[in-house]
Amino acid sequence: MAEKEDKKEKKSSKKLVLILVVLLLLGGGGAFGYIKFFKAKKADEKGAKKKSVEVQAGSPEKLIPMPLNPYLVNLIDPDTRRYLKIRLVLNLSDKNVEKEVTEKLPSISDAIIMYLTSKTYDEVISPMGKKKLKKEILKIVNKHLKTGKVNKVFFTEFLVQ
């Protein structure tokens, strides 16, 4: 009977060792996977966050938004009447530019309206057309400025009917 108990103990200790080895392998594999895949991703995210903080802290890409009133204009489609309504936000290079844009807003708005009314539906509806609109509006606004510049133009509303 003592022999049976010894065999049972040996079997149970072998099972225990086998279970421990399997658990160690699983734990080691899980740790390896975490370090290899997730920790590297977190480091990339931290780097991206750090870059965005640096951008906001003092680089020329710092976002100083200036929303403009919406523009509602006729497009020059010969067959039908079409309208374009856009709302813009300008990304200014510094706070002093906001005052200059405000002072020159009538002439800036006039130039933007004249540009927009020279467009057709086909020119403004495509993604490339929208990019071109942004680029041209940026040039138009920057032509009027002396103390600074507008870094980017954002559409916050874009409607063609």
Distance spanning both ends of the chain, measured CA to CA: 94
Give pLDDT tens digits for 72-122: 999 998 889 999 999 999 999 988 899 999 999 999 999 999 999 999 999
- Write down the pLDDT at residue 33: 64
Most confident of 11-20, 51-60, 63-72: 63-72
pTM value? 0.62
Q: How large is the average pLDDT for residues 62-72?
A: 91
Judged by DSSP in three states, 108 sits in: helix
Most confident of 6-10, 32-36, 44-48: 32-36
- If we measure between CA atoms, which residue out of 74, 83, 71, 150 comes closest to residue 112? 71
Do residues 120 and 160 lie in contact, with contact meaning Cβ atoms separated by under 8 Å?
no
Q: pLDDT band for 52, please (50, 70, 90 cuts).
A: very low
For the chain, the domains span: 1-59, 65-160
Do residues 111 and 136 lie in contact, with contact meaning Cβ atoms separated by under 8 Å?
no
The listed CATH number (3.40.1800, 1.10.10, 3.30.479, 3.30.1360) that belongs to domain 65-160 = 3.30.479
> Which residues have CB under 8 Å from 107's CB, separation 6+?
144
Q: What CA dihedral angle connects 145, 146, 150 and 153, to 10 degrees?
A: 10
- If we measure between CA atoms, which residue out of 117, 104, 108, 118 comes closest to residue 72? 117
Assign residue 123 a region: left if phi > 0, alpha if psi is -120 to 50, beta otherwise?
Answer: alpha
Percentage of the chain beyond pLDDT 90 is 55
